[in-house]
């Protein structure tokens, strides 16, 4: 390991090594690669890292929370004397296992589920602390298990609710659909993915009871707004409602691009039969057409590729290793007409990669871009890689090989925030 | 296991599809692949499977056979190369001589000869060769499994197809739709160790009936040239052998249009190099000195006593600028380069001036193709879009959305591009459109006519019998299309057929119609004030840089109705009689400022003929050119404020400007021209001088410098060869260019005089700049004086332009920093917002493979697609398919009218 580390420094070159940058691997405590890979990706999301370090600076003696542990960890990395090395995120993992019992074991975990939990949980901590400081003790911390909610359906629709962060209601009709396509929580044994990617927006309900609408920095970094337009086929009334998201979960097709997957995400879907739409105008369940488009583009766009698909014939989830290419630069095609910044330009900054043949077997690594360099973090190992080798993580075009190394979560960072 | 995910995947591959022309069918027997299809399935990260194809001349096989027999294994291979390859005949013989003596004659080819002629001839024609740097090669030529000496199954003429797969490279005789592929009998197969072939290109110019020189680039940066010799022999050279020039992957290789020995190579590093096949590479890492600087690019030359490879190095100053592909325009004068940084850069190759840029919506541009008439460039990339860029308007005119993944290849189908006055019944759907167009053509194309000059270039090339000697893309122009083009030279393309293949395993066909391309730019009014500066820069910068090249396009054509006298006929493009071609093309090309063609046309016609009419028009044009340089450089400053709400007003204002100026030019030519032509006309009395002044101004004379090692020796041969080969009136302009060179040689007195005058004026006019260039080219050859003088004249032209547009170019160079910033470019003509640009939908979109597609080539009777799994499929065009009967049994039946062009 030591030789490897110094080799990295040699590869980059001392003169080219970015100042004030540290490339530290994270020690694996037994199947904690899901955490290590996500943490590395988040660490190299510049706005996030800065905010976490800022939090650390502001809260000298905080009560120990997951956020404080994360802040300590980031601070620990950022203040290392050595440029490269490895660090044991012991306190963070310990705290994580206390916070959420699903993670309190040595089992394989889903990296996206962890990311989802972490972002929501941090957001709640911030909100809770804000409330505590405001003396209004608004208890909403119990709502921790975001991943397991998977799109709570609240009956009725809120038409054209522009107050974005206040409501995250989804119709019961669409709820069942989103459950069908949901592979978010590893425990959800839903039916075969329908192919139409409705985001189950597991992240949003956690904010629903947050009384104050003032966004946290987690909102500022990760939160975007989806607008869901539903046209009742009976009365032709178009109703739209906004939903917040922290990441977009897209279905994957063989030999496609992430661009295409995102366009499919916003394809028009017809709600019919069991899945009808309760039209306020008609006061009844009607067939309707629905599509979801991005209204507010987040600063950091996290894209979750739904590579774990439940197969009824196997009675378990299997990995979809389809080749999905992702460019280093991205704009969204699926923006709504009233989107504020529809041609926001994103740069790929980090990718969490799943290696292996299935959801319960395998390994997570991550590649990140830092100061123009691409680095591969494999637990405590750090390697410099060429940008041209990223194509190795697109996936497989044939099903011959069982194991694959495929991009699983993509982090795109808006270029306009990179400079500021 | 995972295969059961999508049980329907296997069945949805299309083997035929219908367009309005008819049914395209996959010819399962005309499928090319590696002979042994099992095993070797790791295509994951191997280089893109690319296809090169060439049509060989079909003459004189006997001579080759006999002399090939006679000279087996010997070094005297100069003889067997027949007259068709005059350009390289001398070179080849020289090269092979070096090879057999193991590079003792190091001054000419030096370390390059690496194949060492290890012709283990006779026994299975297999050979091993070291390629240096731990790379070796194993070759089997002519299907060595036969155990014959290879001559028995030597195939003469026809088409050759080359493709790479993994570490392997194959050459087959391409049999088109008529015969099935004999995949067990490749003409050549090579296996490389330590590297993979990544790209390749046949030289169609120097192709003989037995083969064509093949360039192969490698993932490790080396470039190999494999020149076929009679019999089972081949001559190999290696460039960048020690990777001193560039260590990164060769991403694209192209012979210069109609050049026997010059080629361009792009690397993943983002650099582009010009090589001369005959020159050695520098023995150490080359030292460069700047040759030319422009907006975001720098061109360097090799700093050495004797001329060495690389002759030029192009550097682009954006981050992550891996060049993915480049492509020459059909007329050969413009070069389009696409790169991973998401930019399309279009250069006038000879002047090395940047004509314009486009930016992807996001991600890299992966592929590029010129429309057959050279008016449009289509690029495809990582935004899953095909993007149409207008050379004339310098803007993105349309985008096409239909692919589900990155677009790996775009290709125009020149045979399905419909033109006005097309009387073929195939395109009944287009009848209305065409009527409409023909009725309103005058009005409609009054502005469009500016680009018409380019329209003729491919057709005129095609109308020559030896059109097959172009580079592969254009080699596939069919003769009847070209002949009809020659018969009806007033055609305008109104609907372009475009094909694109993608990593999504689908092929898309697109019809790009004029009404889309003429889409009004009202939407573009949305340019906000922040971007306005950039917009104006984009146009203004081009004005400053390409001033000689760009503005006259608009001017000449607009002026032609206004001032008919200088031109042979006012709507020249409409009423050109074939026998008038040379003259009319001169006016056209000179007005359109396709400068090389103006050369050719003036050179094509005998001097006494051309002097009155042609020289006159040339004179007018030259003057109007120089005038407009001034006019533009003046007006640009002022009109920048007016003209950039959108582009139309920009071109309008310019063209008006030009026309006004042009009106005045005829009388006040010498008085107003800026130095160079007046100098010339004073030193040389005839109108020819001003023609050549025009030439020397707009023609890039560096061409002469790096051509002259070979060209100087062979130009007289080439010239005479051209003269015999071509009908005198239908000479393609590039050929004419070489003829011009021979003229330059033969009339050296005359030219020297002119150049001398030019050089003199350059010294007086431009002062400093010329010195370094003279130095760098001083060692070029015997006629270096010509070269240096011509450089001087070039410098003069530039310095004049610069001096006149000094403020503007200064402003442009200041703006360079922001001009390549995609954040600033969004909303500009180089990268319109998504809703600002017409969005095309594909005519057809079919999944035709299981693996991502990697090549698409349109030919007369078929098109070819290649797949990353190493299979090349042939799709017969409507009426050409003979797949119902076993193909090899019915050779006669499989000959539709028109046949395969050889």
Domains of chain A: 2-137+158-419 (3.90.70.10)
Query: Does residue A68 register a pLDDT over 90?
Result: yes
Taking a contact as any Cβ pair under 8 Å apart, which residues of chain B between 108 and 167 contact chain A? none
| DSSP three-state, residue B855 | strand
| DSSP three-state, residue B664 | helix
**Is the separation of the CB atoms in B877 and B837 below 8 Å?**
no
pLDDT band with cut points at 50, 70 and 90 for residue B296: confident
Q: Which of B139, B97, B277 is nearest to B205 (CA)?
A: B277
CB contact under 8 A, B834 and A343: yes
B534 reaches A (C-beta below 8 A): no
CB contact under 8 A, A327 and B363: yes
Q: Share the mean pLDDT of chain A.
A: 80
A392 reaches B (C-beta below 8 A): yes
CB contact under 8 A, A255 and B45: no
pLDDT tens track for A148-194: 333 333 333 333 333 333 333 333 333 333 333 333 333 333 332 33
Q: For residue B856, list its beta bridge partners.
A: B865
Cα–Cα distance measured from residue B395 to residue B832, given in angstroms and rounded to the nearest whole number: 9
Cα–Cα distance measured from residue A79 to residue A88, given in angstroms and rounded to the nearest whole number: 15
The whole-number pLDDT of residue B246 equals 93
**Is the separation of the CB atoms in B222 and B240 below 8 Å?**
yes
* Backbone phi, psi, residue B524, to 5°: -75, -5
pLDDT band with cut points at 50, 70 and 90 for residue A407: very high
| DSSP three-state, residue B682 | helix
Cα–Cα distance measured from residue B157 to residue B206, given in angstroms and rounded to the nearest whole number: 13
Cα–Cα distance measured from residue B398 to residue B733, given in angstroms and rounded to the nearest whole number: 31
The whole-number pLDDT of residue B481 equals 37
Cα–Cα distance measured from residue A414 to residue A302, given in angstroms and rounded to the nearest whole number: 11
Cα–Cα distance measured from residue A36 to residue A77, given in angstroms and rounded to the nearest whole number: 13
Cα–Cα distance measured from residue B665 to residue B556, given in angstroms and rounded to the nearest whole number: 12
pLDDT tens track for B74-88: 333 333 333 333 333
Mean pLDDT of B570-588: 35
Going by their DSSP bridges, the two strands A23-26 and A84-87 should be labelled as parallel
Nearest CA in chain A to B269: A388
pLDDT tens track for A294-324: 999 999 999 999 999 888 888 888 889 999 9
User: Whats the size of chain A, residue-wise?
Assistant: 420
Nearest residue, CB atoms, A392 vs list B44, B383, B834: B44
CB contact under 8 A, B2 and A399: yes
Nearest residue, CB atoms, B41 vs list A254, A372, A400: A400
State the nearest Cα–Cα gap between B379 and chain A, in angstroms: 16
The whole-number pLDDT of residue B280 equals 85
B2 reaches A (C-beta below 8 A): yes
Nearest residue, CB atoms, A345 vs list B6, B43, B822: B822
* Backbone phi, psi, residue B237, to 5°: -130, 155
Strands (E) in B194-284, as ranges, are 197-202, 214-218, 223-228, 234-239, 250-255, 262-267, 272-276
Domains and their CATH numbers in chain B: 2-413+847-889 (2.130.10.10), 522-825 (no CATH)
Q: Which residues from A are below 8 Å from B834, CB to CB?
A: 331, 333, 342-343
Nearest residue, CB atoms, B851 vs list A321, A325, A397: A397
| DSSP three-state, residue B441 | helix
The whole-number pLDDT of residue B885 equals 43
CB contact under 8 A, B834 and A333: yes
The whole-number pLDDT of residue B37 equals 63
State the nearest Cα–Cα gap between A276 and chain B, in angstroms: 28
Q: What percentage of chain B has pLDDT greater than the value 70?
A: 44
Taking a contact as any Cβ pair under 8 Å apart, which residues of chain B between 690 and 719 contact chain A? none
Chain A contact probe: residue of B219, B360, B362 with most A CBs at under 10 A: B362
Cβ-based contacts under 8 A for chains A and B: 104
List active site positions of A. 33, 363
A403 reaches B (C-beta below 8 A): no
CB contact under 8 A, A398 and B850: yes
Cα–Cα distance measured from residue B132 to residue B768, given in angstroms and rounded to the nearest whole number: 43
pLDDT tens track for A228-241: 999 999 898 899 99
The whole-number pLDDT of residue B421 equals 55
B670: alpha, beta or left, given left = phi > 0 and alpha = psi -120 to 50? alpha
pLDDT greater at residue B304 or residue B509: B509
pLDDT tens track for B208-259: 888 899 999 999 999 999 988 766 677 888 999 888 999 999 999 999 999 9
ipTM for the whole complex? 0.83
The whole-number pLDDT of residue B181 equals 77
The whole-number pLDDT of residue B739 equals 35
Q: Which of A49-58, B159-168, B593-602, B886-895 has the lowest mean pLDDT?
A: B593-602
B343 reaches A (C-beta below 8 A): no
State the nearest Cα–Cα gap between B263 and chain A, in angstroms: 26
A54 reaches B (C-beta below 8 A): no
A388 reaches B (C-beta below 8 A): yes
CB contact under 8 A, B363 and A320: no
**Is the separation of the CB atoms in A271 and A177 below 8 Å?**
yes
Query: Does residue B703 register a pLDDT over 70?
Result: no
pLDDT tens track for A212-225: 568 899 999 999 99
Q: How far from the centroid of its chain's Cα atoms is residue A281's Cα? A: 35
| DSSP three-state, residue A113 | helix
Q: Share the mean pLDDT of chain B.
A: 61
Q: Which residues from A are below 8 Å from B6, CB to CB?
A: 254
pLDDT tens track for B465-479: 333 333 333 333 333
Mean pLDDT of A394-420: 83
Q: For residue B211, list its beta bridge partners.
A: B208
Mean pLDDT of B326-339: 95
pLDDT band with cut points at 50, 70 and 90 for residue B820: confident
The whole-number pLDDT of residue B890 equals 37
Cα–Cα distance measured from residue B318 to residue A161, given in angstroms and rounded to the nearest whole number: 44
CB contact under 8 A, B2 and A254: no
CB contact under 8 A, A330 and B363: yes
Q: How far from the centroid of its chain's Cα atoms is residue B767's Cα? A: 34
Cα–Cα distance measured from residue B220 to residue B245, given in angstroms and rounded to the nearest whole number: 12
Mean pLDDT of B338-365: 94
Nearest CA in chain A to B3: A399
Going by their DSSP bridges, the two strands A324-325 and A256-257 should be labelled as parallel
pLDDT tens track for A319-349: 899 999 999 999 999 999 899 889 999 999 9
Q: For residue B141, list its beta bridge partners.
A: B188
CB contact under 8 A, A329 and B5: no
pLDDT greater at residue B591 or residue A250: A250
The whole-number pLDDT of residue B11 equals 54
**Is the separation of the CB atoms in B272 and B313 below 8 Å?**
yes
pLDDT band with cut points at 50, 70 and 90 for residue B134: low
- Name the range with the highest mean pLDDT among A266-275, B133-142, B156-165, B367-376: B367-376
State the nearest Cα–Cα gap between B391 and chain A, in angstroms: 25
> ∠B131-B134-B140 over CA atoms, to 5°?
45
Nearest CA in chain B to A318: B2
- Name the range with the highest mean pLDDT among A389-403, B543-557, B689-703: A389-403
The whole-number pLDDT of residue B133 equals 56
Q: Half-sphere exposure of A375 toward its Cβ, with a 13 Å CA cutoff?
A: 31
Nearest residue, CB atoms, A399 vs list B3, B827, B852: B3
Chain B contact probe: residue of A195, A251, A256 with most B CBs at under 10 A: A256
Q: Which residues from B are below 8 Å from A253, CB to CB?
A: 404
**Is the separation of the CB atoms in A40 and A22 below 8 Å?**
no
Query: Does residue B408 register a pLDDT over 80?
Result: yes
A385 reaches B (C-beta below 8 A): no
Number of Cβ within a 10 Å radius of residue B114: 20
Nearest residue, CB atoms, A255 vs list B41, B382, B405: B405
Nearest residue, CB atoms, B504 vs list A256, A392, A396: A256
B383 reaches A (C-beta below 8 A): yes
Q: Which residues from B are below 8 Å from A346, CB to CB?
A: 362
The whole-number pLDDT of residue B592 equals 34
Q: Which of B411, B646, B642 is nearest to B520 (CA)?
A: B646
Q: Which residues from A are below 8 Å from B44, CB to CB?
A: 392, 396
Q: For residue B867, list its beta bridge partners.
A: B853
**Is the separation of the CB atoms in B188 and B83 below 8 Å?**
no
| DSSP three-state, residue A327 | coil
pLDDT band with cut points at 50, 70 and 90 for residue A418: low
Cα–Cα distance measured from residue A230 to residue A237, given in angstroms and rounded to the nearest whole number: 8
Query: Does residue B755 register a pLDDT over 70?
Result: no
């Amino acid at each position: 390991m030591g030789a490897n580390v110094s080799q990295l420094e040699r590869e980059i070159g001392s003169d080219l090594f970015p100042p004030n940058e540290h490339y530290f691997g994270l020690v694996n405590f037994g199947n904690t690669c899901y955490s290590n890979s996500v943490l590395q990706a988040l660490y190299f999301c510049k706005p996030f890292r800065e905010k976490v370090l800022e939090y650390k600076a502001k809260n000298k003696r905080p009560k120990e929370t997951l956020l404080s542990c994360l802040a300590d960890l980031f601070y620990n990395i950022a203040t290392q004397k050595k440029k490269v090395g490895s660090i044991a995120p012991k306190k963070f993992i310990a705290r994580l296992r206390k916070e959420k019992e699903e993670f309190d074991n040595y089992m394989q975990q889903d990296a996206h589920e962890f990311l989802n939990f972490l972002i929501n949980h941090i957001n709640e901590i911030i909100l809770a602390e804000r409330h505590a400081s405001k003396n209004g003790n608004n208890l909403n911390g119990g709502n921790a298990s975001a991943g397991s909610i998977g799109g709570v359906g609240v009956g009725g629709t809120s038409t054209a609710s522009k107050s974005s962060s206040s409501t995250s209601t989804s119709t019961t009709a669409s709820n069942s659909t989103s459950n069908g396509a949901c592979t978010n929580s590893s425990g959800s044994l839903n039916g075969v993915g329908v192919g139409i990617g409705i985001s189950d927006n597991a992240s949003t309900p956690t904010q629903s009871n947050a009384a104050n609408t003032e966004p946290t920095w987690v909102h500022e970094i990760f939160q975007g707004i989806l607008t869901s337009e539903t046209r009742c086929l009976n009365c032709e009334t178009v109703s739209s409602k906004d939903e917040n998201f922290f990441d977009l979960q897209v279905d994957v097709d063989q030999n496609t691009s992430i661009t295409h997957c995102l366009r499919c995400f916003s394809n028009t879907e017809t709600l019919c039969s069991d899945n009808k739409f309760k039209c306020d105008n008609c006061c009844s369940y009607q067939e309707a057409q629905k599509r979801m488009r991005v209204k507010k583009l987040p600063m950091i766009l996290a894209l979750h590729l739904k590579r774990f698909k439940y197969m009824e014939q196997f009675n378990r989830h299997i990995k979809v290793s389809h080749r999905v290419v992702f460019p280093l630069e991205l704009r969204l095609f699926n923006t709504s007409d009233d989107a504020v910044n529809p041609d926001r330009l994103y740069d790929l900054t980090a990718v969490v990669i799943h290696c292996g043949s299935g959801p319960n077997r395998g390994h997570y690594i991550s590649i990140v871009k830092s100061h123009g360099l691409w680095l591969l973090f494999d637990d405590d190992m750090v390697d410099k890689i060429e940008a041209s080798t990223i194509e190795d993580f697109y996936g497989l075009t044939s099903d011959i090989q069982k194991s694959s190394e495929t991009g699983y979560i993509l982090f795109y960072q808006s270029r306009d925030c990179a400079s500021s | 296991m995972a295969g059961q995910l999508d049980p329907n995947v296997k069945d949805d591959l299309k083997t035929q599809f219908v367009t309005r022309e008819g049914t395209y069918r996959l010819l399962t027997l005309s499928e090319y692949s590696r002979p042994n299809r099992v095993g070797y399935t790791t295509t994951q990260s191997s280089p893109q499977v690319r296809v090169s194809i060439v049509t060989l001349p079909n003459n004189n096989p006997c001579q080759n056979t006999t002399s090939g027999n006679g000279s087996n294994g010997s070094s005297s291979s100069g003889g067997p190369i027949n007259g068709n390859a005059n350009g390289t005949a001398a070179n080849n013989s020289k090269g092979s001589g070096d090879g057999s003596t193991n590079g003792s004659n190091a001054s000419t080819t030096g370390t390059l000869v690496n194949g060492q002629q290890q012709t283990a001839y006779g026994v299975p024609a297999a050979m091993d060769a070291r390629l240096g740097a731990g790379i070796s090669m194993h070759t089997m030529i002519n299907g060595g499994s036969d155990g014959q000496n290879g001559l028995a199954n030597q195939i003469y003429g026809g088409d050759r197809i080359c493709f790479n797969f993994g570490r392997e490279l194959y050459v087959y005789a391409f049999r088109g739709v008529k015969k099935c592929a004999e995949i067990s009998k490749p003409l050549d197969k090579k296996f490389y160790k330590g590297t993979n072939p990544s790209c390749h290109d046949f030289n169609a110019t120097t192709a003989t009936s037995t083969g064509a020189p093949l360039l192969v680039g490698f993932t490790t940066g080396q470039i190999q040239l494999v020149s076929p010799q009679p019999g089972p022999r081949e001559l190999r050279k290696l460039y960048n052998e020690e990777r001193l020039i560039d260590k990164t992957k060769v991403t694209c290789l192209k012979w210069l249009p109609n050049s026997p020995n010059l080629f361009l190579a792009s690397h993943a590093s983002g650099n582009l190099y010009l090589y001369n096949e005959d020159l050695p590479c520098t023995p150490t890492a080359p030292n460069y000195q700047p040759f030319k600087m422009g907006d975001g690019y720098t061109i360097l030359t090799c700093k050495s006593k004797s001329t060495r490879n690389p002759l030029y190095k192009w550097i682009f100053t954006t981050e992550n600028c891996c060049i993915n592909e480049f492509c020459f325009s059909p007329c050969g004068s413009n070069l389009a380069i696409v790169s991973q940084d998401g930019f399309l850069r279009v250069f006038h190759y000879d002047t090395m001036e940047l004509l314009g840029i486009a930016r992807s919506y996001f991600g890299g541009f992966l592929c590029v193709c010129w429309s057959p008439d050279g008016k449009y460039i289509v690029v495809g990339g990582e935004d899953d879009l095909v993007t149409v860029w207008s050379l004339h308007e310098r803007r993105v005119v349309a985008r096409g959305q239909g692919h589900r993944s990155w677009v790996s290849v775009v290709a125009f189908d020149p045979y399905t591009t419909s033109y006005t006055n097309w009387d073929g019944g195939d395109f009944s759907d287009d009848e209305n459109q065409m009527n409409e167009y023909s009725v309103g053509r005058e009005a409609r194309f009054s502005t469009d006519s500016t680009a018409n000059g380019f329209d003729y270039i491919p057709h005129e090339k095609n109308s020559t019998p030896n059109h097959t000697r172009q580079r592969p893309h254009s080699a596939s122009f069919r003769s009847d299309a070209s002949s009809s083009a020659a018969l009806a030279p007033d055609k305008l393309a109104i609907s372009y057929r475009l094909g694109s293949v993608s990593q999504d395993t689908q092929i898309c066909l697109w019809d790009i119609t004029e009404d889309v391309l003429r889409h009004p730019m009202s939407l573009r009014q949305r340019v906000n004030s922040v971007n306005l500066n950039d917009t104006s820069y984009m146009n203004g910068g081009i004005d400053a840089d390409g001033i000689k090249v760009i503005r006259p396009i608009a001017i000449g054509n607009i002026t032609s109705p206004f001032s008919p006298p200088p031109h042979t006929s006012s709507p020249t493009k409409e009423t050109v009689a074939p026998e008038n071609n040379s003259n009319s093309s001169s006016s056209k090309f000179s007005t359109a400022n396709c400068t090389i063609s103006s050369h050719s046309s003036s050179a094509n016609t005998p001097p006494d003929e051309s002097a009155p009419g042609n020289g006159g028009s040339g004179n007018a044009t030259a003057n109007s050119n120089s005038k407009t340089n001034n006019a533009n450089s003046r007006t640009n400053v002022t009109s920048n404020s007016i003209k950039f709400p959108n582009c139309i007003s920009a071109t309008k204002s310019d063209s008006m400007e030009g026309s006004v100026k042009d009106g005045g030019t005829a009388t006040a030519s010498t008085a107003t021209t800026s130095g160079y032509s007046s100098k010339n006309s004073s030193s040389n009395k005839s109108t020819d001088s001003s023609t050549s002044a025009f030439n020397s101004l707009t023609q890039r004379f560096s061409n002469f410098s790096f051509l002259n090692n070979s060209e100087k020796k062979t130009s007289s041969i080439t010239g005479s060869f051209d003269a015999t080969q071509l009908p005198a009136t239908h000479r393609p302009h590039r050929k004419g260019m070489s003829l011009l060179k021979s003229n330059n040689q033969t009339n050296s007195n005359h030219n020297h005089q002119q150049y001398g005058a030019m050089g003199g004026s350059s010294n007086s006019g431009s002062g400093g700049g010329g010195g370094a260039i003279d130095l760098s080219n001083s060692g070029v050859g015997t006629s270096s004086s010509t070269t240096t003088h011509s450089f001087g004249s070039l410098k003069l032209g530039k310095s004049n332009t610069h001096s006149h547009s000094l403020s503007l170019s200064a402003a442009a160079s200041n703006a360079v920093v922001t001009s390549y910033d995609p954040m600033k470019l969004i909303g500009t003509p180089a990268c319109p917002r998504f809703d600002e640009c017409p969005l095309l939908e594909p005519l057809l979109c079919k999944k035709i493979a299981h693996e991502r597609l990697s090549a698409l080539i349109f030919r007369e009777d078929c098109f070819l697609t290649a797949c990353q799994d190493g299979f090349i499929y042939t799709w017969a065009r409507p009426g050409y398919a003979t797949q119902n009967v076993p193909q090899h049994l019915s050779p006669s039946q499989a000959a539709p009218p028109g046949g395969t062009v050889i």
